[in-house]
């Protein structure tokens, strides 16, 4: 009953319902396009894996630049809606162009100018919600953000399946046309909303502008106690922030490589169908929803670094299992593991970065999404090269290695890295000395 009352309470927050509708339409548009963009590049535009990687990389790079600019501008001006509208319009125009354009060079231009810049709408809609919703309680603000993220995932439950049906009935032309209409509908909803004046969630625009970035206060990275509440202030060092962002970037790199490679692996590697792709993505999104709701409700009492470390460990197990799969049907239940990763990184990862930068919600939200986008910049070309060199299975194993690196960054405190480095150097010198001794011993026996 308590959880239900919290959900109904969100409906009474001014602006929450239109934001929820806009988030749903944005999720529908993304779920229609993301799973099939790599298939479009290979099957319709005739791209090689390397060319596809370049195409996806340039889209991601454009999104990073657009999100960074939008985050800084919105934090400085206190206005989020104009650039969000611009991003949605650009995305709609970009997918309209994909309905007819097949030339590779023109596709690169469309990807950079329209699709990449339009993709920044995801981060902007969350920073807009954090600034626009008048929620004074931090726990309720986190719960509202998690609920919006759950709505975004709900679109992925049915979006890929419906997209597969549209693709079968009207090819990529109908698919991209429907996606463009969804972006336009999202823009129409945002257009009707009012821009909050002088309000950035926790602080006013004037407060945010006057607070230096060096005065960031965050909960200490400590072992959780009985309550595990992260409400004790501490000072976040640049190393703490950089370590968290680096780990999220590695997870984003692995996740984006999966989004590019998995549809090709299913269709061309395991002789599956487009419907198999939609079933896997839909199952993953369906299982994400209860996980996100639970994490959103308990976010303020969870020790986020521990949960993010567990998420990285699960991601590593997922990639190893994917590399060992023999049939499409074996891959389907594995998407539950991936759903756990998405739920934790989306709910706890985003709020954790926002906690690290409480006075700059736009920059913090853009930084979180850009961690994933920087990973996607690298994953585009890298996944193409890995597929050509080591096939799909080798690519998944490489992604598992990236997840293990993220696990170390989340689980090991920053002060231990110099100690670990010195221990590794001592171990290497010891092993080298033993090797030299064995060689000398063998050389003496030969003489």
In this structure, the number of other CB atoms found within 10 A of the CB of residue 198 comes to 10
What is the Cα–Cα distance from 299 to 170, expressed in whole angstroms? Answer: 43
**Mean pLDDT value of segment 53-60:** 87
Please give the backbone phi and psi of residue 46, each rounded to the nearest 5 degrees, phi first. 65, 35
pTM of the prediction?
0.66
- The per-residue pLDDT for 119 is 82
Residue 425 lies in a domain: no
Residue 54 lies in a domain: yes
Per-residue pLDDT band for 8 (boundaries 50, 70, 90) equals: low
Give the pLDDT confidence of 195-231 residue by residue, as tens digits.
655 444 443 333 222 222 222 222 333 333 443 344 4
Burial label for 113, CB within 10 Å (0-12, 13-18, 19+), is middle
Distance of CA 444 to the CA centre of its chain: 59
- The per-residue pLDDT for 103 is 93
User: Which residue range forms the structural domain that includes residue 170?
Assistant: 14-205+238-414
What tokens appear for 65 in the block?
A: 């630049």
**Mean pLDDT value of segment 323-339:** 86
Are 410 and 305 a contacting pair, CB within 8 Å? Answer: yes
For 391, what's the count of Cα atoms within 13 Å in the CB-facing half-sphere? 8
Residue 136 lies in a domain: yes
CATH of the domain at 347: 1.20.1250.20
Interior/surface letters 1-22, b for 16+ CB within 10 angstroms, e for the rest: eeeeebeeebeebeebeebbeb
Nearest CA-CA partner of 37 in 47, 25, 24: 47
- The per-residue pLDDT for 446 is 60
Are 314 and 200 a contacting pair, CB within 8 Å? Answer: no
Q: Answer with the residue of higher pLDDT: 229 or 26.
A: 26
For 225, what's the count of Cα atoms within 13 Å in the CB-facing half-sphere? 6
Per-residue pLDDT band for 263 (boundaries 50, 70, 90) equals: confident
Q: Answer with the residue of higher pLDDT: 119 or 317.
A: 317
What is the Cα–Cα distance from 174 to 171, expressed in whole angstroms? Answer: 6
Which of 143-152, 326-335, 424-433 shows the lowest mean pLDDT across its residues?
A: 143-152
Strands (DSSP E) along 238-287, which ranges? none
Mean pLDDT of the chain: 78
> How many structural domains comprise the chain?
1
Residue 359 lies in a domain: yes
Give the pLDDT confidence of 103-115 residue by residue, as tens digits.
999 999 999 999 9
Residue 94 lies in a domain: yes
Residue 166 lies in a domain: yes
Residue 5 lies in a domain: no
Residue 231 lies in a domain: no
Burial label for 359, CB within 10 Å (0-12, 13-18, 19+), is buried
| pLDDT surpassing 50 at residue 381 | yes
């Amino acid at each position: 009953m308590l959880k239900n009352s919290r959900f109904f309470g969100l409906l009474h927050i001014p602006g929450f319902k239109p934001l929820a509708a806009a988030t749903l339409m944005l999720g529908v548009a993304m779920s229609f396009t993301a799973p099939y963009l790599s298939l479009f590049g290979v099957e319709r535009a005739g791209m090689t894996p390397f060319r596809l990687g370049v195409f996806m990389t340039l889209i991601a790079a454009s999104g990073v630049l657009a999100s960074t600019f939008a985050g800084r501008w919105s934090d400085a001006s206190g206005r989020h809606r104009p650039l969000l509208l611009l991003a949605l319009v650009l995305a709609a125009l970009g997918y309209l162009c994909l309905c007819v354009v097949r030339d590779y060079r023109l596709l690169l231009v469309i990807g950079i100018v329209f699709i990449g810049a339009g993709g920044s709408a995801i981060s902007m809609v969350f920073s807009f919600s954090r600034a626009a919703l008048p929620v004074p309680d931090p726990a309720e603000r986190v719960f509202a953000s998690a609920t919006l993220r759950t709505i975004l995932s709900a679109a992925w439950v049915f979006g890929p399946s419906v997209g597969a049906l549209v693709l079968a009935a009207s090819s990529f032309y109908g698919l991209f046309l429907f996606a463009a209409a969804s972006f336009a509908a999202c823009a129409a909803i945002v257009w009707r909303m009012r821009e909050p004046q002088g309000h950035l969630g926790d602080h006013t625009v004037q407060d945010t502008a006057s607070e230096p970035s060096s005065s960031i206060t965050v909960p200490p990275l400590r072992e959780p106690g009985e309550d595990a509440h992260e409400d004790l202030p501490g000072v976040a060092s640049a190393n703490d922030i950089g370590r968290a962002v680096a780990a999220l970037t590695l997870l984003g790199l692995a996740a984006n490589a999966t989004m590019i490679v998995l549809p090709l692996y299913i269709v061309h590697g395991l002789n599956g169908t487009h419907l198999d792709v939609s079933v896997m993505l839909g199952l993953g999104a369906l299982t994400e929803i209860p996980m996100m709701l639970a994490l959103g409700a308990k976010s303020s009492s969870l020790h986020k670094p521990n949960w993010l470390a567990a998420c990285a460990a699960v991601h590593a197990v997922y990639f190893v299992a994917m590399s060992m799969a023999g049939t499409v049907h074996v891959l389907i239940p594995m998407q539950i593991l991936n759903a756990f990763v998405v739920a934790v990184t989306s709910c706890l990862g985003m709020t954790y970065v926002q906690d690290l930068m409480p006075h700059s919600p736009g920059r913090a939200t853009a930084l979180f999404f850009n961690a994933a986008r920087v990973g996607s910049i690298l994953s585009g070309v890298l996944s193409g090269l890995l597929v050509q060199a080591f096939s799909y299975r080798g690519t998944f194993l490489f992604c598992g290695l990236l997840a293990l690196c993220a696990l170390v960054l989340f689980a090991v405190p920053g002060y231990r890295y110099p100690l670990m480095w010195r221990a590794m150097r001592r171990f290497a010198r010891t092993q080298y000395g033993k090797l030299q001794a064995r060689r000398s011993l063998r050389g003496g026996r030969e003489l």
